[in-house]
Chain A
Amino acid sequence: QKEVEQDPGPLSVPEGAIVSLNCTYSNSAFQYFMWYRQYSRKGPELLMYTYSSGNKEDGRFTAQVDKSSKYISLFIRDSQPSDSATYLCATFSGGYQKVTFGTGTKLQVIP
C-alpha cells in the first residue's frame, strides 16, 4: 500500500465549477499536509500548508484535513482555465522527516 494515494485523473470541469481534489494516507504519524500545483514543465509550487486536522482557506482555495479518516481535500471555487495543472498532495510527520507526495491529479478547466 502506498503511503499517500491520489486519483491521477484527469479531471475535466467547466469554468466556474467547484473542484474537489482528494488524497488518503496511511501513516497516522503524518502531521503536516500540503498541496502543490505543478504546471507543465515546471517545478511544484506550494499552494496550501496545514497542520493537523481542520480547514484552511486562501482566496478560492480551501484545504481540509480529517486525521480521523486520514483524508485530505483541496477545494477550488470558481475554477479558472489558469487553474489547469497537476495538483499534488504531500505530507510528513515533521522535523527532518521526508515529505511523501501523492501521484498528482491532472485538472483541466475548460473555458
Chain B
Amino acid sequence: EAGVAQSPRYKIIEKRQSVAFWCNPISGHATLYWYQQILGQGPKLLIQFQNNGVVDDSQLPKDRFSAERLKGVDSTLKIQPAKLEDSAVYLCASRLGTGSNYGYTFGSGTRLTVV
C-alpha cells in the first residue's frame, strides 16, 4: 500500500510571499488532515476533510491559510502571505474511517522556512 505523498519536501520563501503544498492520501481514505508542526512541538490540526467537505477548520488562520480537497482525493494547502512564524513542517495525514480501529497515516511532511 502506497503511503501518503506530499510535495515539495522543502520550501524556502521570503515573508509576504505565497506558497502551496500538495498531498495525495492513501487510496480510499476518506478523511484527510493537515497539521502544522513547529520545531519542538507536537502537530497541531489545521483542517480536517471528510471526502471533499470540511469537518473542522477551527484552528486554521483563515486570513492567510486556505485549503481545498477537490473530488475528495488530493488536497492543497496554501499560505498567502507567509509570515516568519509560519516556519514549520506541514504534515498531511489520512485515515480510512473515523471508527475506533482506524489510526492516522502521516506523510513525511513539507518543511517550510520563511525568511
Contact = CB atoms under 8 A, between A and B. Distances in A.
A interface bracket (residues with beta carbon within 8 Å of B): 20 to 34
Contacts of A46: 103-105
B96 interface: no
Given A44-B91, A96-B55, A101 B42 contact: yes
Contact of A44 (B44, B45, B100, B106): B106
A6 B43 CA distance: 13
A45 B44 CA distance: 16
Interface in B8-31: none
A17 interface: no
Contact of B111 (A6, A34, A41, A95): A41
Interface residues of B, number: 24
A96 B103 contact: no
A98 B56 contact: yes
Contacts, number: 56
Interface in A68-109: 88, 90, 94-96, 98-99, 101-104
A103 B50 contact: no
B100 A51 contact: yes
B21 to A, nearest CB: 13
Contacts of B104: 34, 44, 46, 99
Interface in A9-65: 31-32, 34, 36, 41-46, 49, 51
Given A43-B93, A96-B48, 10 more contacts: A31-B100, A32-B100, A41-B108, A43-B4, A43-B106, A43-B108, A44-B43, A46-B105, A98-B48, A101-B42
Interface of A: 4, 6, 8, 31-32, 34, 36, 41-46, 49, 51, 88, 90, 94-96, 98-99, 101-104
Interface of B: 4, 40-45, 48, 50, 55-56, 91, 93, 98, 100-101, 103-109, 111
